[in-house]
Chain A
Amino acid sequence: MKHVFFLDGQETPFIPGQNVLEAAIAAGQDRQIPYFCFHPALGSLGACRQCAVKMYPHDSKHPPRITMACLLPASDDLQLVTLEADVHTEHREIIELLMTNHPLDCPVCDEGGQCHLQDMTVQTGHSVRHYSGPKRTYRNQDLGPLVYQEMNRCITCYRCVRFYQDAALGEDFGVFGSRNRVSFGRLEDGPLESPFSGNLVEVCPTGVFTDKVFRHDYVRVWDLQQGPSVCPHCAVGCNTTPGARLGTLRRIRNRQNPEINGHFLCDRGRYAFPYVTAHSRPLQPRLKGETSRQEAVLRQLASRLEEGRSGFLGSPREDLQSNLGLFALADCLHAPFAAVTSSWAEALAQQCLALPQAPSLQEVAAADRIVVIGDLDSIAPMAGFAVRQALGRGARLTVLASSRTGLARKGDYRPLRPSALPDVVSRLADDPCLQGGRLPVLLATAETLGPAGLFALRKTLEKLPANARAGAFVNRPNLFGAAYFAADGHTERLQQALRQREIHHLLCLGADPLGEDWGAGTWRTLSPGLDGLALLDMVDSQTARAAEALLPVAAFPERAGLFVNYEGRIQAFAPVYRREAQVLHSAVHGSAFPEAAGGMKHPLGPPPPLFWLGRLAELLQVHEAWQQRLDFYLHFLCPTAPDPESPGVLLPDTLRARFAIAALPTTPTVESGQWELDIFRWYGGETLADTAEDLQSLAPLRGLRVHPDVQAEWATLQGPCGQLHLPVIPCEDMVQGVIAIDQEGFAELGLYPGDPVEVTWEQGS
């Protein structure tokens, strides 16, 4: 049955349980009802008294009365009016009260043009303030490099604190003061600790919290070129709206996708974008370290590939088509191809793909029994946010990790060594932490759990009720898409071919096998056998510096593509802007308009990888076969290409089923008394994000984290591929016997999480 009420005589549909304002916003009829403190994700508060509507009772005994739309449950045939004079007077007067102390800041306020308060003030017609007395002022706080505070502009809607404390479960932000001196901020100056602090900018209906990174290179929102994109910084694939102007990317905002990211975005997704404008980003083709013409580089690379002794390496960091394009090229040339850099990572990808349908974040938020394995916040913060939402609805959370993570503080924490995880996970089905639940959900960080743990997770899932779900997260946007065609020992075969001198040249796409990718240690030992290495990438890396030929590629907001997220959801992103227009930015870059011809070497900016691959196929005269194969693979994986505006399409289960036969991977044996490695990450750490200066200023120190009962200042770790000398950072939250290092460290050592390691402790340096 369709439920409707009447707003100004218009039929407004609603779902039972909604309030009038919520239903009016959902139906797009909120033009008549101004509001402040209501937020679709944060609920009603009734604090601002702005969303007044006049309700006409069904009987004639009671007079019509004015009430708040956000507190009025929608019911059938409710008669509501906003167009009458007394309702309008109420709207106008409340706005005037809220605006009493609001400063005349709009010209210097970054919210101007996208300001809810501005919109509502214009909408209600308030233009001249009757109050002429002095205005209240506040001192601002320094809230770190991401969020800028200007407290004078506050209208005390409490949205910020409701978001920060109630939704994101943050603890270092709150409300201070009393009566009309209420202030929102931290107890003292300092960066906000929550990985979701950037949402304050979007949640605040006025300019109290504005984007500090955007502020440095500001442009009004009406001048921004915006479009639908997908966040490339982790496997969740939140939908984003990048905004660019004059060929440079200025900011990232959240784009709502109800099944993934509702109204919020994590700080990595929001603030990691400056990799696009980083000075270190390669923008011009390079040959042996020298900037070169693109044709020269392409010809050189084509002659290399013609020798027929090349290997191809894709990457879960690149989008689906680019990986398939590389795979198709390798196929045409009968060359070995791998999508990930180590057999361990390949086994991991295989086990991730074998997991049956993972829960969407919406389902995670609705779960009532949750088990989190590893530090979820540091890999996929938005998954951690969904867990927080579930906690807010009364879910029971159990965290299995080797250190007391942010989420572990919110639920039952079971300290565990990484090598013990597969065992514990395999026994989870009978564990009381999952009993009695309506919807149990298990979320794991794939790298901490390892292939064996993921295998155990899949077996556990089979024993759980049919509606139980499990998901594994990595901080790569496209593990599923990249690994699909290359998950059967391809990496091992590629490395073997290199070892046996069958190939002596490698063409990499967005991979960093000599830098910090998994298994980089092995690649480094193999690299003397490499005659040349070619790379297509958008960031500067050790591999880029070592590459013989480097072809720069367009950043994700500059091109179209597909990502396959952790649930197997294929999402499309569209090009938002073109880099070429940057030349108009004359005074900044020191030269006037470009000369008509030859003024710029590459005025169009780097092309997408498919362009380079297509040109290579053309030079090698295999382009017809290449195009056919590419189309075939693409059609096989994704028969209906999703639209960037749509919520994406899920990979069919039949495509994933072939991975279910994957055997139990071997587990490293750790004897008691041996030190064991775990991975340490933080929420802003990711290859692309590493070049974002503002975000990285919050990065924790690099070092080796260990329980403070170790009395040492430095430690030397010995791995099969090298050794590592790191400062020791004592960390109360660590489990004894476990050492946590970053991924770069793992790459250096040639080890993986859960492996035993030899340590030499040292005093002093």
Chain B
Amino acid sequence: MKVWRNFVDLGAGLWTTLRQIGRISTVSYPEEPLNLPPRWRGRPTLTRDPDGDERCVACQLCSAVCPTRCIELQAGERADTRRYPLTFRINFSRCIYCGLCEEACPTLAIQLLDEFAFSKEHHADFIYEKDALLIDGTGKHPHYNFYRHSGVALGDKDKGQGINEKAPVNVRSNLP
């Protein structure tokens, strides 16, 4: 009885293999484009918010979480007090595409998009500076703008004009 059971199992396995006959799953990349899943973790990029401004606020969480310490940035300050990355540098010869930076990014700036195969002649060429990382688009999150949610005032957004905010308090008033 036990022997027969083994034959059935063997046959089931063989059937799985035989079922694939006739199906073609080889893609002749790079002639044919790949159909990558949306959660594919390719090369990290810096995206822009729906208004076209860069999303990164140089909070340095990505560089803190990066297990290979391949992200390095220096914060700068614009005239309107908005923080932005003065330099933003990823060393792709160290990047392991783990996506922790994307998970950590509170402003959805850093996103791992679908570029995955790129080769260079020199290691130094793998050090991508900010102008090479920043793309002209919102990436996977078309509507999110961090500054609409945060409490700080910025440019034309005054205190109390953010999402889910009350008008500024009048601290001079003693009325109930």
Contacts and interface: CB of A to CB of B under 8 A. Distances in A.
A609 to B, nearest CB: 31
Interface string B70-82: 0010110100000
Interface string B17-57: 00000000000000000000000000000000000000001
Interface stretch (A119-127, A388-396, A580-588, A691-699): A580-588
Contacts of A223: 60, 63-64
Interface in A121-156: 132-140, 150, 152-153
Contact of A137 (B72, B151, B174): B151
B168 A219 contact: no
Contacts of B130: 587
B143 interface: no
Contact of B169 (A108, A183, A216, A585): A183
Contacts of B114: none
Given A108-B57, A152-B151, A135 B86 contact: no
B159 A585 contact: no
B16 interface: no
A702 interface: no
A176 B172 contact: yes
B133 interface: no
B64 A220 contact: yes
A137 B167 contact: yes
Interface stretch (A98-106, A229-237, A337-345, A511-519): A98-106
Nearest to A106: B106
A262 interface: no
Interface in A213-235: 215-220, 222-223
Nearest to B175: A178
Contacts of A181: 169-171, 173
A432 interface: no
Contact of A135 (B63, B75, B152, B164): B164
Nearest to B154: A108
Contacts of A218: 58, 75, 77, 83
A222 B59 CA distance: 12
B107 A135 contact: no
Contacts of A104: 149-151
Interface string B144-170: 001001111100000110101111111
B28 to A, nearest CB: 39
B59 A107 contact: yes
A146 to B, nearest CB: 15
Contacts of B57: 107-108
Contacts of B176: 179
A246 interface: yes
A112 B152 contact: no
B61 interface: yes
A137 B159 contact: yes
A586 B151 contact: no
Contacts of A599: none
A177 interface: yes
Contacts of A134: 164-166
Nearest to A139: B168
Given A107-B61, A108-B150, A586-B87, A177 B171 contact: yes
Contacts of B107: 107
Contacts of A217: 75
B151 A103 contact: yes
Contacts of B60: 219-220, 222-223
B151 A105 contact: yes
Given A138-B159, A138-B171, A108 B83 contact: yes
Given A105-B152, A108-B152, A588 B173 contact: no
A137 B166 contact: yes
Nearest to B153: A140
A216 to B, nearest CB: 6
A585 B146 CA distance: 28
A104 B106 CA distance: 10
B164 A152 contact: no
A215 B63 CA distance: 19
B166 A136 contact: yes
Contacts of B165: 134-135, 137
B117 to A, nearest CB: 26
A587 B129 contact: yes
A135 B151 contact: yes
Contacts of B87: 585-588
Contacts of A137: 151, 159-160, 162, 165-169
Contacts of B58: 218
Nearest to B160: A137
B168 A138 contact: yes
Interface in B112-152: 124, 129-130, 146, 149-152
Contacts of A586: 87
A153 B86 contact: no
A526 to B, nearest CB: 48
Interface string B87-105: 1000000000000000000
A153 B151 contact: yes
Residue from A105, A136, A587 having most chain B Cβ neighbours under 10 A: A587
Nearest to A177: B171
Contacts of B124: 593
A248 to B, nearest CB: 10
Nearest to A248: B74
Contacts of B64: 220, 222-223
A246 to B, nearest CB: 7
A519 B69 CA distance: 54
Residue from A103, A132, A179, A584 having most chain B Cβ neighbours under 10 A: A103
A177 B175 CA distance: 10
Contact of B150 (A103, A139, A182, A183): A103
A179 B167 CA distance: 17
Interface in A482-528: none
B71 to A, nearest CB: 11
A106 B61 CA distance: 10
A564 B155 CA distance: 50
Contacts of A216: 77
26 contacts: A103-B150, A103-B151, A104-B151, A105-B150, A134-B165, A134-B166, A135-B166, A137-B166, A139-B168, A140-B159, A150-B151, A152-B159, A176-B171, A177-B173, A178-B174, A181-B169, A181-B170, A182-B171, A218-B83, A219-B60, A219-B74, A219-B75, A587-B87, A587-B130, A588-B74, A588-B87
Given A135-B164, A137-B167, A178-B174, 13 more contacts: A104-B149, A107-B61, A136-B169, A138-B159, A176-B172, A215-B77, A218-B77, A219-B60, A222-B64, A246-B74, A586-B87, A588-B87, A593-B124
Interface of A: 103-108, 112, 132-140, 150, 152-153, 176-179, 181-183, 215-220, 222-223, 246, 584-588, 593
Q: Which 6 A-B pairs have the closest CB atoms?
A: A103-B151, A107-B59, A177-B171, A183-B171, A152-B151, A587-B87
